[in-house]
A and B are shown apart, each in its own frame.
Chain A
């Protein structure tokens, strides 16, 4: 993606200079427009990343509404409580999310085999939740291990909202 962007910005620069080769104004404005372009591109990539997360939340909301017509949105506070809660339905070794992930989502967790798990909070780990297949895979595995069942769309959305707020 970066390569494509830089190529595009190079052409933009070139064509800008060519359309008005002797204009002092064009030369003076060049750095500013380049800066603007950079900001626009940065914003665009942030939007793409954010869009992937929004799509996830929208998807959970749609299925949650289908399951329960009284569905009234997601709550980060509920997500936080869910993250810390101990469940009895799953495996004894992993009663809660925090059995492996750390209680503070901004710090790293640890698997039973000693591997570090990157923080869950988006603020310290901006790449999180941008690959829907990966999110699905881990919800499926981890909900089974901790709760002994799949998580509901409401639970997934609440939990994700908590991580996005962190």
Chain B
């Protein structure tokens, strides 16, 4: 019996394609970044600013950042050694080039994982996505900081950064 190879191949391609789409839809599109779920990380990283999703930076950036919390973008954010180790483990395990790859892939495109910036807002992809935002909008009294994602991305706390 001759198998209809062509139809089988077509079918497999169709299934693979829809599986890919489904995964995308499940993850909420390319603007979804799984939010922090660890309670310690949420508390320690989320009391001054949004607890940024670990998938937004590569592991190397998180490690360098956690190595110098005393000078955390101009603020002293130091925590005790045990807490720091716990946070580092979580961030590294879920970073954009490790466990959180499927979320961070697009944002980290064009960024070297070994020499990446520490600021999410300096990633080339981030800059491109935000190039239409004017200086006036950044200075708006409800925005004030580029770290204030929630000012525009209302569902950022839940991981959605569309619109």
Contacts and interface: CB of A to CB of B under 8 A. Distances in A.
Interface of A: 91, 111-115, 117, 137, 140-141, 144-145
Given A113-B48, A115-B50, A141 B77 contact: yes
Contact of A114 (B47, B79, B142): B142
Interface in B41-58: 46-50
Contact of A113 (B76, B77, B78, B147): B147
Nearest to B77: A141
Contacts of B148: 113-114
Contacts of A145: 75-76
Contacts, number: 36
Q: How large is the interface on B (under 10, 10 to 19, 20 to 34, 35 or more residues)?
A: 10 to 19
Interface string B139-163: 0001111011011000000000000
Closest 3 CB pairs between A and B? A114-B148, A113-B49, A113-B147
Given A137-B79, A145-B75, A145-B76, A114 B150 contact: yes
Contacts of A111: 48-49
Contacts of B147: 113-114
Contacts of B142: 114
Interface of B: 46-50, 74-79, 142-145, 147-148, 150-151
A114 B77 contact: no
Given A111-B49, A117-B47, A141-B75, 17 more contacts: A91-B74, A111-B48, A113-B48, A113-B49, A113-B50, A113-B144, A113-B145, A113-B147, A113-B148, A114-B49, A114-B150, A115-B46, A115-B47, A137-B79, A141-B77, A145-B75, A145-B76
Contacts of B47: 115, 117
A145 B72 CA distance: 12
A117 B48 CA distance: 8
Contacts of A91: 74
Contacts of A144: 76
A78 B142 CA distance: 33
B76 A114 contact: no
5 contacts: A91-B74, A112-B145, A113-B48, A113-B49, A145-B75
Contacts of B151: 114
Contacts of A115: 46-50
Contact of B145 (A114, A137, A140, A141): A114
A113 B49 CA distance: 6
B122 to A, nearest CB: 16
A31 B123 CA distance: 65
A117 B49 CA distance: 10
A115 B49 CA distance: 6
Contacts of B76: 140-141, 144-145
Considering residues A117, A141, A144, which has the most beta carbons from chain B within 10 angstroms of its beta carbon? A141
A117 B78 CA distance: 19
A112 B50 CA distance: 11
A144 B142 CA distance: 26
